[in-house]
A and B are shown apart, each in its own frame.
Chain A
Amino acid sequence: MKKEIQTANSSLAVDKVSLSFGKILVINNVSFQVYEGEILSIIGPNGAGKTSLLNCLSGFYQPDSGRITYKGQEITKIPIHRRASLGIGRTFQGLQLFPGMTVINNIMSGRHILMKTNFLQAFLHWPWVHREEIAHREVVEEIIDFLEMEAIRHELVGNLGYGLRKRVDLARALALEPKILIMDEPMAGMNMEEKEDMARFIIDIEEFKSIPIILVEHDMEVVMDISNRIMVLDWGNVIAEGKPEEIRTNPAVIKAYLGDADEEVNHY
């Protein structure tokens, strides 16, 4: 069912990245590649360093060493906001929306880098500003249709439930027309139905927009179902990498996830 991924077309390459906070080594010499058109899942126990790794990709943390290249260009040190213009979209683990704005405006703010209105034009509301707003609004409406959020478009996101907010977060990331999408636990805290919707959206994005996706997620079933490839982090180290089937049976992975429980059992 899953298509074969061309390992020749690398989109993002992480090369020997390490990161520490004080004396704590959070990411230890991690290297991996993301290929065009694949869904790469990163899994690992709580505190494994998954979010920190994504933060290095979006520039929020500076790795202590190592290189990150995106489409052949080194991006390790470029400012956070420039990464969006390069086409790196990102959703967050917690709720990092703009609660004071409506759903529409949250998503419209994702169009920021694609809109060209300068200060003077904005001040005077040049006719062209008006036209630009409307053109982008049309694109945003397409995203709203795509993610099935028509009914809530004028709500303040502060008033929405958790599952819907996650969807707005995704819509906002899609709005900047990313060439690669990074998602941090998009299904955390969702009920079954919402998870199914979200999984469907992720597959659709990969299929219709044909962009690679990096997915961090705790729900193993979903991960096994939709990923092309899985990478397992534990204490900042990559302990396994491969197809879902391989990961499912990998002894190191089983140990990392169940290790403590096993020891506990052995005590009795």
Chain B
Amino acid sequence: MWRPSGLFHVNYSQEIAFVQTPFQWVMLVLGLFVTFALPLFIPLDALNFFIKAFITITAVLGLTLLTGNCGQISLGHTAFMAVGAFVGAPLLNQGVPLILCLIMAGLAGGIVGLIFGLPALRIKGFYLAFATLAAFYVIRFILIHYFGGVVGHNVPPPSILGFSFNSDFRIYYLIASTCFAMTYFTKNITRCKWGRAFIAIRDHDIAANTLGVNVYFYKLMAFFIGCFYAGVAGLVLSIYMGWASVDHYSLTNCIWYLGMIIVGGMHSISGAYLGVFFILGIEEMGIVIAPKLAELFPQLAGSMIGAVPIIFVGLVLVLFIMIEPRGLVHRWEIIKTSIRIFPFSN
């Protein structure tokens, strides 16, 4: 966000405020207005893109906290989303109020995440990454075998106070509001002692420990919170799809999510937004181009639609991480500083 070179806060309260400059106020109000007016102006495909983006942001914010801030790599994120969906969907079916279902889905994701986060108390890095990958397969197995997995659950359009979210147009509002609420919560977590404890653990767990941070507790809480987001996002996704099936929660998606936080620069909310739109944009390009390629190469037409978006995103992520492993936000910071100190930059 653009800031004048001479921004001086007059009290500490301003420094931790959600919105810090008049310019940001304007942006926030404008942003909210545009988001909520959007469905009136854009075609349905574009709307679907934004719906997907907001769901993904909700999930990725959880990873921003868990992996970006607390440094605990989780390759099981989509599995925790599935847990949220598989707990929330039957509840919705039984007529439990939507808000309650979302909270229950979040709690279910969070608790399962906490359980599978237990190895994090003893391992980190590659080991933890692989342990969470194992968790992905274990959870998937359990969902398929004991919670009606492959067939899954039908999800009826939910409603709040008689307003039924029964079209993509209406669901958009549900999803955008959920996403913004979760964004606000993320900001809250990161601007108090919890956010600092997470980063402290990521940067130097031993030092954090000597400062009195109970590393075990906060790691588990990071899993709980991160997977809470996953659970909520999972249920929201199943509402959008009208169906909860394990196939919507693939490992590929989980890889993309982690790729998004890398692209965005790991630990900031704006990074999460940036990364999601960037990667989903690339994927969308693949989806649009695939049928055209299929016309050019008819003998490959069968697999084009499925393969091209994956090839696109995979390739872009590989190139991106090779060139700028610290993400767009990092690059942006560099540009910003060099603009601010303009004649003196090199």
Question: Could you tell me if B197 and A109 are in contact, using CB atoms closer than 8 angstroms?
Answer: yes
Q: Is the Cβ of A130 less than 8 Å from the Cβ of B13?
A: yes
Stretch at the interface among B49-57, B184-192, B315-323: B184-192
Q: A123-B188, A125-B188, A133-B192 are in contact. Are A60 and B210 (CB under 8 A)?
A: yes
Q: Which residues on B sit within 8 Å (CB–CB) of A195?
A: none
Min CB distance B60 to A, Å, is 18
B202 within 8 A of A: yes
Contacts of A82 in B (CB 8 A): 212
Q: Taking the complex as formed, is A100 at the interface, i.e. its CB lies under 8 A from any CB of chain B? A: yes
* A81 / chain B contacts, CB cutoff of 8 Å: 209-215
- Is B192's CB under 8 angstroms from A122's CB? yes
Is B221's beta carbon under 8 Å from chain A? yes
The stretch that binds B, out of A26-34, A112-120, A143-151, is A112-120
Residue A229 is within 8 A (CB to CB) of chain B in the complex: no
Could you say which residues of chain B place their CB within 8 Å of the CB of A18? none
Q: Give the residue of B15, B185, B203 whose beta carbon is less than 8 angstroms from that of A99.
A: B203
Is residue B199 within 8 Å, beta carbon to beta carbon, of the partner chain? yes
The answer on a CB contact under 8 Å between A125 and B209 is: no
> Is there a chain A Cβ closer than 8 Å to B200's Cβ?
yes
B16 at interface (Cβ–Cβ under 8 A)? Answer: yes
Can you name the residue of chain A whose Cβ is closest to the Cβ of B267?
Answer: A100
- CB contacts (< 8 Å) of B13 on chain A: these are 130, 134
CA A172 to CA B207, docked complex, whole Å: 10
Q: How long is the Cα–Cα vector from A133 to B195 in the complex, in angstroms?
A: 12
Mask for B188-231, Cβ within 8 A of A = 1, else 0?
11011110110110111011111111110000010001000000
Looking across the interface, which residue of chain A has its beta carbon closest to that of B187?
A125
Measured CA separation A234–B338 after assembly (Å): 52
Q: Please, how many angstroms separate the alpha-carbon atoms of A129 and B17 in the complex?
A: 12
A227 within 8 A of B: no
Q: Check B207 against A97 for contact (C-beta < 8 Å).
A: yes
Q: For the complex, what is the distance from the CA of A115 to the CA of B215, rounded to whole Å?
A: 16
Q: Report yes or no: A96 in contact with B206, Cβ–Cβ below 8 A.
A: yes
CB of A77, distance to nearest CB on chain B (Å):
15
| Chain A-chain B contacts (Cβ-Cβ < 8 Å), number | 110
CB distance from B295 to the nearest CB of A (A): 48
Neighbour of B196 across the interface among A112, A124, A141, CB < 8 A: A112
Instruction: Check A133 against B189 for contact (C-beta < 8 Å).
Output: no
Q: Across the interface, do A105 and B196 meet the contact criterion of CB distance under 8 Å?
A: yes
Nearest CB of A to B219, in Å = 12
- Whole-angstrom distance from the CB of A49 to the nearest CB of chain B? 19
Tell me whether B202 and A119 are in contact (CB under 8 A).
no
Q: Please report which residues of chain B, range 208-260, place their CB below 8 angstroms from some CB of chain A when the two chains form the complex.
A: 208-215, 221, 225
Neighbouring A residues of B199 by C-beta, 8 Å: 98, 100-101, 105, 109
Are B202 and A109 within 8 A (Cβ)?
A: no
Is the Cβ of A108 less than 8 Å from the Cβ of B210? no
Q: Establish whether residues A130 and B267, one from each chain, have CB atoms under 8 Å apart when the complex forms.
A: no
Q: Provide the A76-102 mask, 1 if CB < 8 A to any CB of B, else 0.
A: 000111111100001010001111110
A112 B210 Cβ-Cβ under 8 A = no
**Who on chain A is nearest to B214 by CB?**
A81
The residues of A that contact B191 with a CB separation of less than 8 Å are 125, 133
Are A90 and B210 CB-contacts (below 8 A) given A98-B204, A99-B203?
A: yes
Q: How far is the CA of A164 from the CA of B253 in the complex (A)?
A: 43
Contact B192 A100 (CB under 8 A): no
Q: Which residues of A contact B187 (CB under 8 A)?
A: 125
The verdict on A110 contacting chain B, using a C-beta distance below 8 Å, is yes
Q: Which of B16, B194, B197, B211 contacts A84 (CB 8 A)?
A: B211
A selection of 11 A-B contacts at a CB cut-off of 8 Å is: A79-B214, A80-B209, A85-B212, A101-B203, A109-B211, A109-B213, A125-B188, A133-B12, A133-B192, A134-B12, A134-B13
Q: Taking beta carbons and an 8 Å cutoff, which residues of B are in contact with A? A: 11-13, 15-16, 185, 187-189, 191-194, 196-197, 199-200, 202-204, 206-215, 221, 225, 267
Beyond the given pairs A100-B202, A122-B189, 13 more chain A to chain B contacts, judged by CB atoms under 8 angstroms and listed by A's residue number, are A84-B212, A96-B206, A98-B200, A98-B203, A98-B204, A101-B200, A109-B193, A109-B197, A125-B192, A129-B188, A130-B13, A133-B191, A176-B211
